[in-house]
Chains A and B, each alone.
Chain A
Amino acid sequence: DGGITQSPKYLFRKEGQNVTLSCEQNLNHDAMYWYRQDPGQGLRLIYYSQIVNDFQKGDIAEGYSVSREKKESFPLTVTSAQKNPTAFYLCASSIVEPYSNQPQHFGDGTRLSIL
């Protein structure tokens, strides 16, 4: 069964620490996305990548970093510069085709909390 796997499900960060959230997909999708969801708010885009070795900032990229060395993997690092990292993080992927919309497929999410 193809899908998106996010790990860990729960993650705790100490002050001044960087943490990395994993996202792996076996759907052969070109595009991958990271979102943040806070209570009562919609999804906010952090970073996205449409092709290996390339990625762009979303609306709230400050304090985060990503890499896309492989098509299947798009890890997100929450750095110590992110002052309010407590949130639910969702990874998604989609096919990229010109002039068409394809639905994004979502992982189960990672809940990040501050110790």
Chain B
Amino acid sequence: EDKVVQSPLSLVVHEGDTVTLNCSYEVTNFRSLLWYKQEKKAPTFLFMLTSSGIEKKSGRLSSILDKKELFSILNITATQTGDSAIYLCAVEAERDDKIIFGKGTRLHILP
């Protein structure tokens, strides 16, 4: 059965810390892995990863995919209170045309 597992489920750190969020997957016919930030309603798209070893960066956020070990990490450096959110990882499968979401990591940044 296809699955996406995120860890930790919950994380509390102080402003300025660096955090690493994990996403491991077992999905047949992998096409891409996506990271989202969920705050109020619609999750905000962060990254789409399709190739191993190529880091994607956007400001203080970065992410990398390891297709051999079947996982991805999302790094946030110099965290700010505005980074507090639920971070969702999702994997798209090619042949079955489906997308599987993890349960999310709830990140809380203390001022």
Q: Is the interface of B mostly helix, strand, loop or mixed?
A: strand
User: Which residue in A40, A42, A45 is a CB contact (below 8 Å) of B41?
Assistant: A45
Q: State whether B88 touches A103 (Cβ < 8 A).
A: yes
What number of A residues sit within 8 Å (CB to CB) of B?
25
Interchain CA distance A56-B2 in the complex, whole Å: 33
Q: Indicate whether A109 reaches chain B with its CB closer than 8 angstroms.
A: yes
Q: State whether B36 touches A43 (Cβ < 8 A).
A: yes
Cβ–Cβ < 8 Å partners of A90 in chain B? 99
B83 to chain A, nearest CB (A): 13
Q: Indicate whether B103 reaches chain A with its CB closer than 8 angstroms.
A: yes
What number of B residues sit within 8 Å (CB to CB) of A?
21
Q: Interface digits, B3-47 against A, CB 8 Å rule (1 contact, 0 not)?
A: 000000000000000000000000000000010101101111100
Interface set, chain B 40-86, CB cutoff 8 A to A = 41-45, 48, 85-86
Cβ–Cβ < 8 Å partners of A9 in chain B? 97
Cβ–Cβ < 8 Å partners of B36 in chain A? 42-43
Interchain CA distance A41-B99 in the complex, whole Å: 13
Interchain CA distance A50-B88 in the complex, whole Å: 21
The tally of CB-CB contacts under 8 A between chains A and B is 52
Least CB separation from A101: chain B residue: B86
Interface set, chain B 77-105, CB cutoff 8 A to A = 85-86, 88, 90, 97-99, 101, 103-104
Cβ–Cβ < 8 Å partners of A111 in chain B? 97
Cβ–Cβ < 8 Å partners of A109 in chain B? 97-99
- B residues near A, CB below 8 A? 34, 36, 38-39, 41-45, 48, 85-86, 88, 90, 97-99, 101, 103-104, 106
Chosen A-B contacts, 27 in total, with CB atoms closer than 8 Å, are A10-B97, A33-B41, A35-B42, A40-B48, A42-B34, A42-B44, A43-B42, A43-B45, A44-B42, A45-B41, A45-B42, A48-B41, A58-B41, A59-B42, A88-B97, A90-B99, A101-B38, A101-B85, A101-B106, A102-B86, A103-B86, A103-B88, A103-B103, A103-B104, A108-B98, A109-B98, A111-B97
- Top 10 A-B residue pairs of the complex, sorted by shortest distance between their CB atoms: A42-B45, A45-B42, A103-B104, A106-B101, A103-B86, A111-B97, A101-B86, A108-B98, A43-B43, A109-B98
